[in-house]
Each structure stands twice: as C-alpha cells, then as structure tokens.
C-alpha cells in the first residue's frame, strides 16, 4: 500500500515581519513564496491582519498572481478584510480569531459566540468560489459547529500541544488532536493542522493518518536564517513524510 503524502503549506508572514523591523522593502514575502513553491511545498499561507503588522494587501495580491500552487489567505471574519478577500478571491481562505495585542493567534475560533458572523463570511466566500477552512480547537463542539456552518475543511489548532512541557501534557494534547481529527474525518472534512509546529514536534503530529496537511511558518522562516529557505522547506517536507 502506497504511503500517503502529507502536504505542507508554508506561512510567509515572518519574512514581512523582518521587513517591517527596519522599514525596508525587503525581504519580500512574494519572493519567499516563490522560493517555497520551488522547494516543493503544496501551498502558500499568509495572514492579512487587521493591524497590517506584517502582510499587506499588495503582498497577498502578488503572491496569488505569482505562484501556481494554491494561496491560502488567513483572515478574521472582519468586514474590511472579508471585502478584500471577496475581491481578490484567493484559492482558499482560513478564518482565524484575532486580537490586536496578541503576538500570534492564541486559540481556535469561538463558533458559539460568533456563529452567525462566521457563517455569513463563510457563505459569502464560498459564493465567490473560495474554499473555506475554519481554524478550530481540538474539541467536539467546535468541529460539530464547523460542520453545521458548512465550511469545506478544518484546521486543528496544535498550539496547546506545541506549548506543552511535560510528557503527560504532550500525550494528553496529542490524544485530543487525534480524537478531533478522527471526528472531523468521520464528518467528511479534509483535515489540516497547524500552530507552533516545528522540526522536533512535527514527528508526533504526522503519525496521525487523518491529518492531510500541515501549515507551518515561524519554524521554517527561523530555520531559513541558518540553512536558507529552500533547504528549510525541503527538510520539513522530509520529516513530515517519514511517518514512523
């Protein structure tokens, strides 16, 4: 039986973070996206935040126009960002929660409190031919709510797993992710995962055959400082597809 290949989506946000640190026009996340495509990743991810702290509209448009693999736009269910996404029509949009002062996304979407708002945004994007994913925590209620909303796929938040320190905590979070992935697959979802995954902990996540795609950014861009972006992407793909 042939081994299932797990796909890698590379998030290029932090090339833009570095650009912003000195107020220059480099490094360009568009160029980074093209290099990652050359290195063999399956998709490019970028998060257009409300505060525009890294990725800008210009970046999103040029990434979409200059790669042949799918572009996955991460976004909040915010009217302004949604209007932009509806106009530019990325191949995929992943709805994520967003807080102005957070360093990075802190958890999955609250599909109870913001159900109607998220549902409306999902439908508008789908009407424009955009595949829509929801970034959710590894719990039954969130996944069942995502099914009711009618999104195309889900991305399971691996943040708590990546931050776990003890073996007990790590195993507990892995069990939660495994159960969530199995439930999602049983409901007909394609399953992605991401947040805090790096070159060490990825080995545990890829043992789960239910997970078809990983979206990874910070670890790859950080690794690229030492070995270059092509090598950093190739190394991650190699680790991801050694499911032992």
The reported pLDDT for the residue numbered 36 is 98
Count of residues in the chain: 244
What is the C-alpha separation between 119 and 99, in angstroms, rounded? Answer: 20
Q: Which of 47, 54, 155, 173 is catalytic?
A: 47
pLDDT of residue 223: 98
pLDDT at 173 (0 to 100): 97
User: What's the CATH code, domain 7-240?
Assistant: 3.20.20.70
List the one residue out of 90, 104, 100 whose CA is nearest residue 59: 90
Residue 161: closest CA among 179, 146, 134: 179
**Interatomic CA distance for residues 123 and 77, integer angstroms:** 12
Q: What is the pLDDT along the chain (244 residues), one digit of tens a residue?
A: 345 689 999 999 999 999 999 999 999 999 999 999 999 999 999 999 999 999 999 999 999 999 999 999 999 999 999 999 999 999 999 999 976 554 555 689 999 999 999 999 999 999 999 999 999 999 999 999 999 999 999 999 999 999 999 999 999 999 999 999 999 999 999 999 999 999 999 999 999 999 999 999 999 999 999 999 999 999 999 999 885 5
Q: What is the CA radius of gyration of the chain?
A: 17
- The pLDDT, as a whole number, for residue 107 is 80
The SS3 call for residue 154 is strand
Spatial separation of the C-alpha atoms in residues 220 and 233, rounded to whole Å: 7
pLDDT given at position 88 = 96
**Phi/psi class of residue 2: alpha, beta or left (left: φ > 0; alpha: ψ in -120 to 50)?**
beta
Catalytic residue flag (residue 212): no
| Active-site entry in 37, 74, 98, 173 | 74
Residues forming a β-bridge with 48: none
Torsion angles phi and psi, residue 145, rounded to 5: -65, -40
Of 14, 8, 52, which is closest to residue 32 (Cα–Cα)?
Answer: 14
If phi over 0 gives left and psi between -120 and 50 gives alpha, with beta otherwise, what is residue 12? Answer: alpha
Contact between 55 and 49 (Cβ < 8 Å):
yes
Catalytic residue among 37, 54, 173, 195: 195
Annotated catalytic residue 37: no
Is 173 noted as a catalytic residue in this protein? no
């Amino acid at each position: 039986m042939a081994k299932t290949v797990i796909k890698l989506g590379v998030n290029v946000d932090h090339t833009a973070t570095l650009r912003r640190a000195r107020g220059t026009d480099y490094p360009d996340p568009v160029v980074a996206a093209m290099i990652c495509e050359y290195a063999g990743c399956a998709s490019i991810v970028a998060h257009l935040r409300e505060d525009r702290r890294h990725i800008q509209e210009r970046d999103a448009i040029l990434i979409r126009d200059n790669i042949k693999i799918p572009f996955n736009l991460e976004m909040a269910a915010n009217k302004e960002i949604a209007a932009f996404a509806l106009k530019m029509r990325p191949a995929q949009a992943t709805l994520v929660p967003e807080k102005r002062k957070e360093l990075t996304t802190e958890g999955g979407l609250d599909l109870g409190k913001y159900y109607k708002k998220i549902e409306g945004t999902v439908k508008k994007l789908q009407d424009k031919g955009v595949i829509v994913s929801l970034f959710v925590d590894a719990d039954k209620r969130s996944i069942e709510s995502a099914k009711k909303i009618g999104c195309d796929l889900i991305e399971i938040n691996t943040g708590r797993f990546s931050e776990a320190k003890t073996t007990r905590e790590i195993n507990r979070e892995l069990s939660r992710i495994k159960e969530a992935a199995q439930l999602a697959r049983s409901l007909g979802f394609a399953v992605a995962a991401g947040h805090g995954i790096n070159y060490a902990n990825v080995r545990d996540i890829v043992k789960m055959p239910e997970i078809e795609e990983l979206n990874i950014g910070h670890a790859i861009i950080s690794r690229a400082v030492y070995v270059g972006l092509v090598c950093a992407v190739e190394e991650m793909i190699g680790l991801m597809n050694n499911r032992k």
